């Protein structure tokens, strides 16, 4: 008989030190789905480093967890998920770092890797994951594209319920589904955010709706189950506007309006901190690892402190 995630966690907690991964993994398993603004670091800028180095950077920056890439080209390749993901989680929790969020390329329940990823992740205490992005087929039409992907999500939603794990679809600037943000309300209308919802990204929302983004946030608020945090500014290259990623508080995101709106809408969900600007400047990649770590930790901590101080300031902790 297949255990669901709650049964597995209960059994594991009772077994204690007898589980093969050791007692440190139990702490990741029994935590369950964290409520409130638990902050995790999106692992992408650290993926090229060895796991120990990643964990040391995150711990020294004061961040309590990681939003791990489990996708093609990510830290964990889908084909190796059953072996490498447990190893990563085991090492991370030994550093006091939770691995309860992940980023995937999942777009279909029928993909041979989808159920393998979700089953393994859920058994390790991962509670939220980001899927891949869905692309509009303008030949079929905008509404028809949304209907097509709503059907795909319905199949994935069944797996989410089977493994008690939450999908968080990120709004992303551009022409993918979710770019306008408004379209996500139609996409998600048949789903419960407990299993299939939205990862709201204010940076991408503001790029596409510099003044109107609060309307989109209000509309999709009932579907939101995670938040992505990052900042940006505009620059002109050859007379054309371009986005430049910058540390939190150094860009154009209206953080006062954002946090005030999040509070007014009573949104209280896990947060993934995205560092999209370079952690190392040109030439710094040639420094020793301890020197690189010092620079990386300083930048991560600056963003993390900005975020947590604002959560505290607006009474969101």
Task: Answer yes or no: is 252 within a domain.
Answer: no
Q: What is the mean pLDDT of residues 239-265?
A: 96
* Residue span of the structural domain in which 52 resides: 31-229+267-278
For the domain that residue 160 is a member of, what is the CATH number?
3.20.20.150
| Nearest one of 62, 60, 59, 66 to 43, comparing CA atoms | 66
Given a cut of 80, whether residue 213 has pLDDT beyond it is yes
CA–CA dist 303, 293 (Å, integer): 15
- Averaged confidence pLDDT in the chain: 90
State residue 208's pLDDT score: 93
Cβ-contact 12, 26 below 8 angstroms? yes
Cβ-contact 100, 136 below 8 angstroms? no
State residue 36's pLDDT score: 72
Task: Answer yes or no: is 8 within a domain.
Answer: no
Task: Answer yes or no: is 314 within a domain.
Answer: no
- Which backbone phi and psi does 242 adopt, to 5 degrees? -130, 150
State residue 317's pLDDT score: 77
Task: Answer yes or no: is 77 within a domain.
Answer: yes
Cβ burial, residue 235 (10 Å; 0-12/13-18/19+): exposed
Using one digit for the tens of pLDDT, what is the confidence trace for 92-125?
Answer: 999 999 999 999 999 999 999 999 999 999 999 9
What's the predicted TM-score (pTM) here? 0.89
Task: Answer yes or no: is 237 within a domain.
Answer: no
pLDDT bucket at 224, cuts 50 / 70 / 90:
very high
pLDDT bucket at 17, cuts 50 / 70 / 90:
very low
What total number of domains does the chain contain? 1
């Amino acid at each position: 008989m297949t255990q669901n995630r709650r049964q597995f966690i209960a059994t594991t907690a009772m077994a204690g030190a007898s589980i093969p991964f050791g007692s440190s993994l139990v702490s990741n398993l029994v935590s369950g789905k964290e409520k409130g603004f638990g902050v995790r670091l999106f692992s992408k800028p650290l993926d090229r480093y060895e796991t120990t180095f990643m964990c040391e950077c995150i711990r020294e920056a004061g961040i309590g967890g990681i939003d791990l890439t489990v996708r093609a080209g990510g830290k964990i390749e889908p084909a190796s998920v059953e072996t490498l993901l447990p190893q990563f989680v085991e090492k991370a929790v030994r550093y006091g770092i939770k691995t309860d969020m992940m980023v995937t390329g999942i777009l279909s329940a029928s993909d041979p890797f989808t159920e393998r990823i979700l089953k393994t992740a859920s058994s390790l205490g991962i509670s939220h994951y980001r899927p891949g992005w869905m692309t509009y087929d303008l030949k079929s039409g905008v509404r028809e594209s949304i209907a097509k992907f709503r059907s795909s999500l319905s199949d994935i939603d069944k797996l989410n319920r089977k493994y008690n794990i939450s999908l968080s679809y990120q709004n992303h600037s551009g022409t993918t589904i979710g770019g306008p943000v408004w379209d996500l309300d139609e996409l998600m209308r048949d789903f419960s955010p407990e299993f299939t919802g939205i990862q709201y990204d204010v940076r991408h929302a503001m790029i596409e709706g510099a003044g109107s983004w609060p309307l989109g946030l209000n509309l999709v608020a009932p579907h939101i189950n995670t938040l992505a945090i990052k900042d940006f500014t505009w620059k002109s290259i050859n007379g054309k506007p371009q986005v430049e990623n910058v540390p939190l508080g150094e860009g154009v995101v209206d953080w006062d309006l954002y946090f005030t709106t999040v509070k007014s809408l009573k949104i209280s969900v896990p947060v993934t901190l995205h560092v999209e600007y370079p952690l190392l400047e040109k030439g710094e990649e040639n420094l020793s690892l301890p020197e690189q770590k010092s620079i990386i930790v300083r930048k991560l901590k600056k963003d993390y402190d900005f975020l947590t101080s604002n959560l505290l300031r607006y009474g969101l902790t």
